[in-house]
């Protein structure tokens, strides 16, 4: 689909049109403004721990080096993220390691120099004496009796534990005809935005106020958090998220590096910059996904899942991330585990386990790529156990009545699980594939098909976060919408897009509501001085929540424009139509430009006799309960049994994200998510050796997918409007990443079925596939 | 660390007289010494290709070339693609086909695409896919980048 011009015929809406993005002209011209583009007087390089566990002894700086250590940061607090439930043990992270080091890459000191190269040279000459201790890298090893304890506050290395068991679970379990068990393992991944992290802090010597420009997804909360840790007034800190080169969750957590930048800028009354290099990003930014998931499904004799038992062990790394805490992965796994399946008997234990590895933080999909992978593997295994088709077992188990309340109490507003499954089955032409699969098998080629059906909870409001007991409970968004006296429109938003195209989609929503063209609307974001407090952009929330707040503000502006027009045109409010840049009396040719109404709102207020407040500035705030998108993904793969290489040949998606505001942007989000999901399924893995050193510290070793590994993606949409979203849009930023690992792993297993080999671990690398075949003696 | 050398870099037809250490990579010189920040650095290992520029007609990773090696060569960066207000067909195609999201890798992809198509205007789709797999994008899943470059290729052949 190609983007269209910013013109439309009268009578149609802007919403629903694939218009080109307003973000793009600057970005394709090299005029984007990213953090690392800013010059600074001073540059920082962090000295990081080379060992996974130990006690810091002496830190010796070379002559002439300006070195900052924990000892310098007097009065600076530790980062202590907090949950009030689930037996959470708060553990603190010093901004710079002061006594113990707990993972390779943990910042211990910072070197200041006039250039980043000079700082790097100097940092390499800093001499660290660390008394090494035995690290623990794997979550199950960390749970073992006698394992080294990472934090004194967390005995047994368990930082939190969620438990749930529905009443009558045991009775239901006993009634099963078959129990199917699955041990799934997701290895560790890194979100890998192409722009690594970075910050630039500048102190105004006259006022002492600091402006921190950094690659963040949540500027307002960064401001709150940094001010807290440094004990400074928030008013003295301005945080700007400029153009941000992707985030995918990695840029929403508080980075201790930014705290050091602000502290130092204040101390030096000058500007200080830090640009993370790729090695630092891979070893010491934030990781994700490292989990063991054990599922047991109790099925009745018709292959209906009647009870589900889950055990989730999430390796959360060395510290808890702020603001979500490390509860985000295990607790979301527990809350959303039954996914799209109608099962009312559910038991789950979900633990977060500390290890001597890089801290875990949210990454696109959060837990759902792993639980979907596990659930969908379980369904395929159960289908095999009952000798029925994988599609058939899904037909028998998917939720089909809405609203639906899950065993744990989540309310699914609407969905189209069965419809998207059938749509995908039809698009892929399953019978034709099965015939071709048979033919190719006889020639020694191993094709497989894999299905993944899933729900994607999006647009979480504050009640959803509060259910987790989060000390910081995000959820709502505010938008301030101004029509200025020149007739131009400005929407200042608390969300902080970094590639999602909100400057365009929010303009489409406003344009329809107040009757102007999107090109007179400017969406302003990412600056705590110029935007209302808000939570930023993450968790597939912005279009739902910030879009909802935008619509509320736009409705208020619309009401006021109609009032002004009614006064000026001397017509009833009900007869005024706002469209194509004018207010018009219905059924007549009497019009007045909207720009003129705006001018009057400021400059002719005496005409409104006190009945209309001066100006044209309205605020909207929205805090929805949350809504569920859903999709069915289908992958066709070929597995080379001799080399273990997997090629994804075809990829079909049938998805339902409610009303699509801009289908071009929506499809782009799905494409990108699927590519990351395929990367997670086949290629990407952060590998630690037994000492806790990372073996995958560059992109050639970590291997995000290239254009060669991603097949053409065929998308089909159903638009079931959500009752829990006033724009009727549901979020869809994460769905691609959630569905792809499951679809690809199921396809690989389908291809390997004749060998009897199974892969329940991702990424399914050639080594793992070969090992599975070798274990069966089916491959040399 | 070491003494600086005076060199002149010719970027988009304009000479920049700068002084750099011999170890200074071309990308840093373009960005920091010449102030052309449209070229981005994604990995500094030559893997991601975000820093791709065109040097004497060839797309190169400017993180794998020293600035001193580029003296006397014609360097083109994303800032030089448009003719005044008229975007290059490659830039226009990336906008039309939604070939970018965050935009960080985009300058590298634009220069890669332009460099290859100027050298080989009739490159077939399969070979083009191989070329495009030299750079990394984390947002788009490549679908629309491929469409955009193919559309630009047609447009460029028609010029």
- Which tens digits make up the pLDDT trace of A581-593? 999 999 999 999 9
Element (H, E) at A605: none
Nearest chain B residue to A275, by CA: B41
List the structure tokens of B104.
């960080």
Distance from the B45 Cα atom to the nearest Cα atom in chain A, whole angstroms: 7
CB-closest option in B107, B136, B147 to A30: B107
Q: How far apart are CA A16 and CA A341, in angstroms?
A: 30
Q: Which CATH class is domain A24-32+476-622?
A: alpha beta
Q: Is the Cβ pair A34, B130 closer than 8 Å? A: no
Kindly report, as residue ranges, where domains of CATH 3.30.365.10 are found in chain A: 24-32+476-622, 366-372+381-458+626-775
CB-closest option in A30, A500, A664 to B77: A30
Q: Is the Cβ pair B42, A39 closer than 8 Å? A: no
Can you give the pLDDT at residue B1? 55
Cis peptide before A403 (omega within 30 of 0): yes
CB-closest option in A278, A664, A709 to B45: A278
Share of chain A above pLDDT 70, in %: 98
Equal fold, B5-77 vs B89-158: no
ipTM exceeding 0.95, yes/no: yes
Can you give the pLDDT at residue A3? 45
Residues of chain B with Cβ-Cβ distance to A190 below 8 Å are none
Q: How far apart are CA B36 and CA B27, in angstroms?
A: 9
- CA count, 13 A, side-chain hemisphere, A748: 33
Which segments of A158-245 does DSSP mark as H helices, in order?
A: 169-174, 219-230
Domain ranges of chain B: 5-77, 89-158
Determine the average pLDDT of the residues in A707-734: 94
Three-state secondary structure call for residue A58:
strand
B121-133 pLDDT per residue, tens: 999 999 999 999 9
CB-closest option in B81, B134, B138 to A704: B138
Kindly report, as residue ranges, where domains of CATH 3.90.1170.50 are found in chain A: 35-133+197-275
Distance from the B38 Cα atom to the nearest Cα atom in chain A, whole angstroms: 4
Q: What is the DSSP string of B85-111?
A: TBPPHHHHHHHHTT--SS-SSHHHHHH
B144 touches chain A (CB under 8 A): yes
B1-29 pLDDT per residue, tens: 579 999 999 999 999 999 999 999 999 99
For residue A287, pLDDT over 60 is answered with yes
Residues of chain B with Cβ-Cβ distance to A1 below 8 Å are 97-98
A478-494 pLDDT per residue, tens: 999 999 999 999 999 99
The CA distances from residue A120 to A44, A259, A702, B38, in Å, are: 8, 19, 23, 24
For residue A235, pLDDT over 60 is answered with yes
Q: Is the Cβ pair B42, A278 closer than 8 Å? A: yes
For residue A42, pLDDT over 90 is answered with yes
Q: Which CATH class is domain A35-133+197-275?
A: alpha beta
Q: Is the Cβ pair B101, A501 closer than 8 Å? A: yes
Determine the average pLDDT of the residues in A220-243: 98
CB pairs under 8 A between A and B: 184
A643-692 pLDDT per residue, tens: 999 999 999 999 999 999 999 999 999 999 999 999 999 999 999 999 99
Determine the average pLDDT of the residues in A437-445: 96
Best residue in A498, A672, A707 to probe B by mutation, most B CBs within 10 Å? A707
Can you give the pLDDT at residue B159? 62
Best residue in A197, A280, A706, A713 to probe B by mutation, most B CBs within 10 Å? A706
Q: What is the DSSP string of A12-31?
A: S-STT--BPPTTHHHHHTT-
Q: Output the pTM of the full model.
A: 0.96
Determine the average pLDDT of the residues in A35-64: 96
A216-226 pLDDT per residue, tens: 999 999 999 99
Q: What is the CATH number of domain B89-158?
A: 1.10.150.120
Residues of chain A with Cβ-Cβ distance to B98 below 8 Å are 1, 3, 20-21, 664-665, 667-668
CB-closest option in A20, A246, A698 to B43: A698
Q: Is the Cβ pair A27, B100 closer than 8 Å? A: yes
Cβ partners under 8 Å of residue A293, min gap 6: A182, A183, A184, A185, A186, A310, A311, A312, A313, A333, A370, A371, A374
Q: Which fold has domain A366-372+381-458+626-775?
A: Aldehyde Oxidoreductase; domain 4 (3.30.365)
Mean pLDDT of chain A: 95
Per-residue pLDDT of chain B (159 residues; tens, 9 = 90+): 579 999 999 999 999 999 999 999 999 999 999 999 999 999 999 999 999 999 999 999 999 999 999 999 999 999 999 999 999 999 999 999 999 999 999 999 999 999 999 999 999 999 999 999 999 999 999 999 999 999 999 999 986
Q: How far apart are CA B108 and CA A731, in angstroms?
A: 30
Can you give the pLDDT at residue A2? 43
Determine the average pLDDT of the residues in A438-445: 96
Determine the average pLDDT of the residues in A628-648: 97
Residue A581 per-residue DSSP state:
T
The domain B5-77 belongs to what CATH superfamily? Beta-grasp domain (3.10.20.30)
A507-519 pLDDT per residue, tens: 999 999 999 999 9
Cβ partners under 8 Å of residue A567, min gap 6: A607, A608, A611, A612
């Amino acid at each position: 689909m190609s983007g269209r011009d910013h013109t439309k015929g009268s009578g149609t809406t802007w919403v629903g049109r694939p218009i080109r993005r307003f973000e793009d002209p600057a970005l394709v011209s090299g005029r984007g403004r990213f953090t690392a583009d800013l010059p600074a007087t001073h540059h920082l390089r962090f000295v990081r721990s080379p060992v996974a566990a130990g006690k810091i002894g002496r830190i010796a700086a070379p002559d002439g080096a300006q070195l900052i250590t924990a000892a310098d940061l007097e009065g600076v607090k530790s980062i202590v993220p907090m949950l009030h439930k689930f037996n959470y043990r708060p553990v603190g992270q010093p901004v710079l390691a002061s006594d113990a080091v707990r993972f390779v890459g943990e910042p211990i000191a910072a070197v200041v120099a006039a250039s980043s190269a000079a700082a790097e040279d100097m940092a390499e000459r800093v001499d660290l004496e660390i008394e090494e201790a035995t690290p623990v890298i794997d979550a199950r090893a960390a749970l073992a009796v006698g394992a080294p304890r990472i934090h004194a506050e967390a005995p047994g290395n368990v930082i939190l534990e969620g438990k749930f068991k529905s009443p009558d679970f045991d009775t239901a379990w006993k009634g099963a005809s078959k129990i199917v068990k699955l041990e799934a393992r997701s290895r560790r991944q890194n979100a890998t935005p192409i722009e690594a992290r970075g910050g630039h802090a500048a102190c105004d010597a006259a006022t002492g106020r600091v402006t921190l420009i950094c690659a963040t997804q949540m500027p307002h909360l960064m401001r709150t958090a940094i001010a807290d840790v440094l004990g400074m007034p928030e008013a003295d800190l301005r945080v700007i998220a400029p153009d941000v080169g992707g985030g995918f969750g990695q840029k929403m957590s508080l980075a201790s590096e930014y705290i050091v930048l602000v502290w130092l800028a204040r101390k030096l009354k000058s500007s200080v910059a830090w640009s993370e290099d790729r090695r630092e990003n891979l070893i010491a930014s934030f990781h994700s996904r490292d989990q063991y998931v054990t599922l047991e499904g109790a099925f009745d004799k018709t292959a209906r899942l009647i009870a589900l038992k889950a055990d989730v062990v999430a390796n959360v790394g060395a510290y808890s991330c702020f603001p979500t805490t490390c509860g985000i992965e295990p607790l979301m796994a527990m809350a959303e585990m039954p996914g799209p399946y109608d099962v009312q008997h559910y038991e789950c234990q979900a633990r977060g386990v500390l290890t001597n590895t890089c801290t875990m933080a949210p990454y696109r999909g959060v837990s759902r790529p792993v639980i979907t992978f596990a659930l969908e593997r379980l369904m395929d295994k159960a289908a095999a156990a009952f000798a029925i088709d994988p599609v058939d077992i899904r037909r028998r188990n998917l939720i089909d009545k809405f609203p639906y309340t899950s065993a744990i109490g989540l309310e699914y507003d609407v969905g189209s699980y069965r419809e998207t499954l059938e749509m995908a089955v039809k698009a892929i032409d399953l019978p034709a594939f099965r015939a071709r699969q048979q033919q190719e098998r006889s020639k020694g080629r191993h094709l497989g098909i894999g299905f993944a059906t899933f729900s994607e909870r999006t647009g979480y409001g504050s009640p959803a976060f509060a259910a987790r007991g989060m000390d910081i409970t995000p959820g709502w968004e505010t938008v301030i919408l101004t029509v200025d006296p020149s007739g131009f429109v400005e929407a200042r938003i608390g969300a902080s897009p970094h590639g999602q195209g909100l400057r365009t989609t929010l303009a489409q929503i406003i344009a329809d509501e107040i009757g102007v063209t999107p090109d007179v609307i400017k969406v302003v974001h990412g600056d705590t001085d110029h935007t209302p407090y808000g939570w930023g952009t993450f968790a597939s929330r912005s279009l739902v929540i910030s879009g909802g707040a935008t619509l509320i503000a736009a409705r208020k502006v619309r009401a006021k424009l109609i009032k002004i027009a009614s006064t000026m045109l001397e017509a009833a409010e009900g007869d005024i139509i706002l469209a194509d840049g004018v207010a018009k009396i219905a059924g007549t040719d009497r019009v007045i430009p909207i720009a003129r109404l705006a001018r009057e709102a400021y400059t002719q207020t005496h005409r409104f006799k006190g009945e209309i407040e001066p100006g044209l500035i309205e605020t909207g705030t929205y805090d929805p309960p949350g809504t569920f998108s859903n999709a069915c993904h289908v992958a066709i793969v070929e597995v080379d049994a001799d080399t273990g290489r997997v090629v994804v040949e075809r990829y079909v998606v049938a998805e339902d994200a409610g009303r699509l505001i801009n289908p071009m942007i929506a499809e782009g989000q799905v494409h990108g998510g699927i590519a990351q999901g395929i990367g997670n399924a086949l290629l990407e893995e952060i590998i630690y050796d037994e000492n806790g050193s990372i073996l995958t510290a560059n992109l050639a070793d970590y291997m995000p997918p290239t254009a060669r590994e991603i097949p053409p993606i065929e998308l089909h949409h159903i638009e079931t409007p959500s009752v829990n979203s006033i724009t009727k849009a549901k979020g869809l930023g994460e769905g691609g990443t959630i569905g792809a690992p499951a679809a690809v792993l199921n396809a690989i297993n389908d291809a390997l079925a004749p060998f009897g080999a199974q892969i329940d671990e991702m990424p399914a690398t050639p080594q793992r596939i070969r090992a599975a075949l070798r274990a069966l003696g089916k491959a040399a | 660390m070491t003494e600086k050398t005076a060199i002149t870099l010719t970027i988009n037809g304009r000479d920049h007289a700068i002084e750099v250490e011999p170890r200074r990579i071309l990308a840093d010189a373009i960005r920091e010494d010449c102030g052309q920040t449209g070229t981005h650095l994604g990995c500094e290992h030559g893997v991601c290709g975000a820093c791709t520029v065109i040097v004497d007609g060839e797309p190169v990773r400017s993180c794998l070339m020293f600035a001193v090696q580029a003296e006397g060569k014609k360097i083109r960066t994303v800032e030089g693609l448009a003719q005044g207000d008229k975007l290059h067909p490659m830039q226009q195609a990336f906008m039309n086909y939604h070939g970018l999201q965050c935009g960080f890798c985009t300058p590298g992809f634009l220069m890669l695409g332009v460099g290859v198509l100027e050298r080989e205007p009739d490159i077939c789709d399969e070979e083009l896919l191989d070329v495009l797999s030299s750079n990394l994008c984390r947002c788009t899943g490549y679908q629309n980048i491929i469409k955009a470059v193919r559309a630009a290729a047609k447009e460029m052949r028609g010029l």
